[in-house]
Chains A and B, each alone.
Chain A
Amino acid sequence: MSALSIIGEILVLLGTFFYFLSSLGLIRMPDVYNRMQTATKSATLGSLGVIIGVGIWALGSDFGSAAWLTKTIVIAVFLLLTNPISAHALIRGAYKSGVPLWEGSVVDRYREHLEAKKSTEVEASKKPAEEGGEE
C-alpha cells in the first residue's frame, strides 16, 4: 500500500465522518432553517473529502491514472459551487412559503430588511402626493 492510497483513505474517512455529522444535524436541530444550516455545510465538506480522497486513493492503486484525479476534482468543484446555491434557493422558498421560525430564534434579518424596504417605499410614495397637495 503506497503513501498516496493512505492519504486518500484518510480523506475518505474524514468525508464519511462529516456525512454522518450532517445527517445527525438533520435529525437533531429544531426547525428547518437550523437543519439546513448544519446539514448543508457539513455535507459539502464531506463530499469534498470523499471525492478528492477517492481521486488520490485511485492514484495509489494499480488501475489508477491521472484522469481519476482530474475527473474527481471536476465533480468536487461542481458540488462546491452548486450546493450553497441550492440550499439558499430552498431556504428562500421556505421563508416565502411561510414556514415559521423556531420559538427560540432571536433575530430575523430578512424580515427587518423587508420592513425597512417597505417603509422607505411608503415614504417615497407619500412625498410626491404631499408636494402635489401643496401646489
Chain B
Amino acid sequence: MIGINVYLALIAVATLLSMYRVFRGPTTVDRLVAVDIMTTITTGLMVLFALYYGRMIFLDVALVYAILAFGGVIAFARYLEGGL
C-alpha cells in the first residue's frame, strides 16, 4: 500500500490550502471558518501521528484538542452575535 507518509503530506497540503483562506479572507468570519476547518483537519493529523509513532497517548492529545477547539469556536460565535 501507499504508506503513512503520503497521507501526512496530503493532510499538510489541505492545511496549507485552508491557510490561504485565513490570510486572504475578506471578512472576519471567513478567517474563522477556515480556522475551524483547520482545527478539524489537525485533529485527524494528530490521530495519524499517534499511529506513526505507535503511541496511544497521542490519541488523548487529539481528544483534548478537539474539545478545546470546539469551546473556542463557540466563544467566537458568541462574540460575533454580540453576546460576549
Which of chain B's residues 17-57 have a Cβ closer than 8 Å to chain A?
17-18, 20-21, 27-30, 32-34, 36-37, 40-41, 43-44, 47-48, 50-51, 54, 56
- Do A93 and B43 have beta carbons less than 8 Å apart? no
A43: chain B residues at CB < 8 Å are 37, 40-41
Q: Beyond A16-B11, A26-B37, A32-B29, is A72–B20 a contact (Cβ under 8 Å)?
A: no
**Nearest-CB distance from A66 to chain B (Å)?**
11
A90 touches B47 (CB 8 A): no
Report the separation of the CA atoms of residues A75 and B28 in the bound assembly, to the nearest whole angstrom: 29
Interface size for A (C-beta < 8 A) is 55
A15-B44 in contact given A23-B15, A40-B37, A75-B63 (Cβ < 8 Å) = yes
Number of A-B contacts (CB under 8 A): 153
B37 touches A90 (CB 8 A): no
Q: Can you list, as one digit per residue, whether each of A43-58 has a CB less than 8 Å from chain B (1) or not (0)? A: 1101100110010011
Chain B residues within 8 Å of chain A by Cβ, number: 47
Instruction: Let me know if A75 and B77 touch, CB within 8 A.
Output: no
In the complex, which of the residues B13, B47, B54, B79 contacts A20, with contact meaning CB atoms closer than 8 Å?
Answer: B13
Residue on A nearest B60 in the bound complex, by CB: A71
Give Cα A26–Cα B14 distance, bound, in whole angstroms. Answer: 10
Q: Is the CB of A78 within 8 A of B67?
A: yes
Partner of B48 from A5, A12, A20, A39 at Cβ < 8 Å: A12
**Minimum-distance CB pairs A-B, first 8:** A93-B80, A89-B77, A23-B17, A94-B29, A50-B44, A86-B73, A93-B77, A16-B10
